[in-house]
Structures are given as C-alpha cells and as structure tokens.
C-alpha cells in the first residue's frame, strides 16, 4: 500500500475528481476539478483511470512526504515542483522514492496545478464522487482542504508504467489575460445598450475573493442594471451573474444550484478550464457569440 503525509497543504489544496452528477435537484453542486483538461492529462501521465482523484492545488501547492515509492504526474499551473529540493519536470510521469518529499511553490503562471499519484486511492466516495465540497463539509478528507498531518493512502498498481510525457503542443499556455466567449443569458436584455457596450468593452480584474464557487470580477466602473424582483432560478457553472453592486460573478464548480441574481450570460464550456487558470489580478474580457448552435 502506498502512502504520503501532508507536511504543508499549501494555500488551498483539495482532493477532486470529475465531480458528482445527478444531485443538483437536491441542491448539491457537481464540484470536481476546475480545469478538467489538466486533470485528464495528469491521470493519463500517471497511468490512472480517467476518473481517479487528484490533488488540486490553488496558487501554492504545498509539501508532501512519500512513505513509499510512487509514480506521480503534475500538470496545470507552473508551481516549480521539486523532490528533496531538486527541480522536476511537469507534464511527465516521475518516480518518487520512499522518504522523499515533493514540494510545489507559488504559481508562476496559471492558478491551479494537479498532482496525480498512480494507484487506487483509499478515499470514500460521497454521492459517487471523491470530490471535496468544503462548503458542505463532505467528500475528500473530512470535507476540508488538506492540512499538516493528513495522510493519503492508495492501493498500488502492479503493472509497470513506461514514462509518459506530453508533447509541447499538448501543454497549454496559461495567460493572465483572457478573452472569454459567452452567449446572452435570460436577463441580458435588462441591460440598456450603453451598459451592454460597457460590459463588452471592459477588462475585468479577477478578485482575491474568487474561489471554487465563483470567479468574482472587479472593474473601475460597475455594470448598471435596473434591478427587478425575480424569482430564484436554476444556474450552472459558467453562468455570469450580475449582483446589485454591478460586479459580475462567473459561477464555477462549487457554485450554488439556484440563484436570484440576473443571469446576463453563459460562457462557453470550453472556456471554463481557461478561466480556472486566470490568477488573482489577471484580466478577463467578454466576447458575445451571436450565432451559437
């Protein structure tokens, strides 16, 4: 059996997989990895199944001591990983020996890194998923982010694995400036033409208040809307809400299932991965897609 001990859980590291489906009608969000592309690549490199859990490290990765030999892979944000203070490559499978310590620093580019460990993790599934939902305090390890002293164990896979490495064109560039495509939402036309133009021509800054529930945006001049009473309606990841303060929120994987704020847009799903990697103080612009099918 493989095992590691958490020496430092970083700023916000949780256990995630693809997420849980079929429970939104009960008010339970899907959760799961914020960047599913990087997640899939990490599990491929480690020789794991497609839905195997990983460590999702936000902004700063943390420090982990391996009690046994292991094969790992790290994808996503560039956190300058190292083993016993010796740098290692990302986007490739790497051998870790018993007693060695893996450390990931602050993200130089991107926002979230993914650590896959080859094997079948001993994590209880909640509603069909290992994903941590910290607001609900379930999933992962006790429903919380990783902290010093936590331990993760896994059943090792006996078959050998040849080194796997991503090609250069398979490794995305994590920009701190993104233009994101969206389709108008149900309340889009409650904005007048001037405010629509302001929304489409503004560069919004990612707020430090952003989290797995939603990416909160800031701008010099908020978007004004004549707020009207509206019933709470269903929402999904990618919905752009406009609260009374005029600063948009993009709902993400831990976002609520219903909301009462105007839904001015829905970003295309392909952009969810990209938004998840825009760091704090990075900028986002919006581009309307008018002929979306």
Spatial distance between the Cα atoms of 84 and 262, rounded to a whole number of angstroms = 50
DSSP tag of 240: E
% of the chain residues with pLDDT over 90 = 91
Going by their DSSP bridges, the two strands 249-251 and 70-78 should be labelled as: unpaired
Amino acid 231: pLDDT: 78
SS3 assignment for the chain: CEEEEEEECCCEEEEECCCCCCCHHHCCCCCCCCCHHHHHHHHHHHCCCCCCCEEEEECEEEEEEECCCEEEEEEEEECCCEECCEECCCCEEEEECCCCEEEEEECCEEEEEEEEECCEECCCCECCECCCECCCCECCECCECCCCCCEEEEECCCCCCCCCECCHHHCCCCCCEEEEEEEECCCHHHCCHHHHHHHHHCCEEECCCCCCCEEEEECCCCCCCCCCCCCCEECCCCEEECCCCCCCEEECCCCCCEECCCEEEEECHHHHHHHHCCCCCCEEEEEECCCCC
Backbone angles phi, psi at 154, to 5 degrees: -155, 155
46-91 pLDDT, tens digit per residue, is 999 989 999 999 999 999 999 999 999 999 999 999 999 999 999 9
Has residue 248 got a pLDDT over 90? yes
Identify the band that residue 293 occupies on the pLDDT scale cut at 50, 70 and 90. low
Has residue 43 got a pLDDT over 90? yes
Has residue 7 got a pLDDT over 90? yes
Amino acid 292: pLDDT: 60
92-109 pLDDT, tens digit per residue, is 999 999 999 999 999 999
Spatial distance between the Cα atoms of 232 and 119, rounded to a whole number of angstroms = 43
DSSP tag of 268: -
Grouping H, G, I as helix, E, B as strand and the rest as coil, residue 35 is coil
Mean pLDDT of 231-251: 93
Backbone angles phi, psi at 228, to 5 degrees: -120, 155
253-271 pLDDT, tens digit per residue, is 999 999 889 999 999 999 9
Taking the domains of the chain in order of start, what are their residue ranges? Answer: 2-170, 177-288
Nearest to 51 by CA among 15, 18, 14: 18
Amino acid 260: pLDDT: 85
Amino acid 228: pLDDT: 66
Neighbours of 127 (CB within 10 A): 16
Has residue 207 got a pLDDT over 90? yes
Nearest to 175 by CA among 110, 113, 80, 220: 110
Mean pLDDT of 212-239: 89
Spatial distance between the Cα atoms of 256 and 30, rounded to a whole number of angstroms = 10
The least confident of 118-132, 164-178, 214-228, 243-257 is 214-228
Residue 24 makes CB contacts below 8 A (sequence gap 6+) with 30, 234, 236, 257
135-148 pLDDT, tens digit per residue, is 999 999 999 999 99
Identify the band that residue 226 occupies on the pLDDT scale cut at 50, 70 and 90. confident
Mean pLDDT for all residues in the chain: 95
Amino acid 137: pLDDT: 97
**Bridge partners (DSSP) listed for residue 214:** 251
Nearest to 53 by CA among 93, 26, 95, 13: 13
Has residue 10 got a pLDDT over 90? yes
The CATH class of the 177-288 domain is: mainly beta
């Amino acid at each position: 059996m493989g095992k590691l001990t958490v020496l430092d859980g970083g700023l916000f590291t949780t256990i995630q997989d693809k997420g849980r489906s079929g429970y939104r009608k009960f008010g339970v969000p899907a959760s799961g990895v914020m960047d599913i592309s990087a997640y899939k690549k990490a599990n491929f490199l480690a020789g794991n199944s497609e839905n195997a859990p990983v460590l999702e490290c936000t902004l700063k990765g943390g420090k982990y001591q391996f009690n046994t030999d292991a094969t790992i892979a790290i994808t996503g944000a560039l956190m300058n990983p190292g083993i016993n203070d010796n740098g290692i490559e990302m986007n490739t499978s790497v051998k870790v020996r018993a007693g060695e310590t893996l450390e990931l620093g602050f993200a130089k580019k991107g926002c979230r890194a993914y650590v896959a460990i080859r094997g079948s993790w001993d994590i209880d599934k909640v509603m069909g998923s290992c994903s941590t939902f910290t607001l609900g305090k379930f999933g992962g390890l006790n429903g919380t982010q990783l902290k010093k002293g936590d331990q993760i164990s896994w059943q090792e896979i006996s078959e050998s694995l040849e080194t796997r490495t991503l090609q250069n064109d398979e490794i995305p560039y994590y920009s701190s400036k993104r233009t994101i495509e969206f389709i108008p939402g149900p309340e889009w036309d409650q904005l007048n033409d001037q405010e629509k133009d302001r929304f489409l021509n503004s560069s919004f800054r990612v707020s430090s208040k952003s989290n797995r529930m939603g990416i909160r945006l800031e701008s010099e001049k908020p978007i004004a809307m004549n707020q009207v009473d509206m019933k709470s309606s269903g929402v999904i990841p990618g919905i752009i809400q406009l609260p009374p303060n005029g600063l948009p929120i993009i709902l993400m994987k831990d976002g609520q299932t219903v909301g009462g704020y105007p839904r001015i847009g829905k970003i295309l799903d392909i952009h969810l991965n990209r938004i998840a990697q825009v760091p704090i103080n990075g900028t986002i612009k919006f581009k309307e897609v008018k002929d979306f099918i």
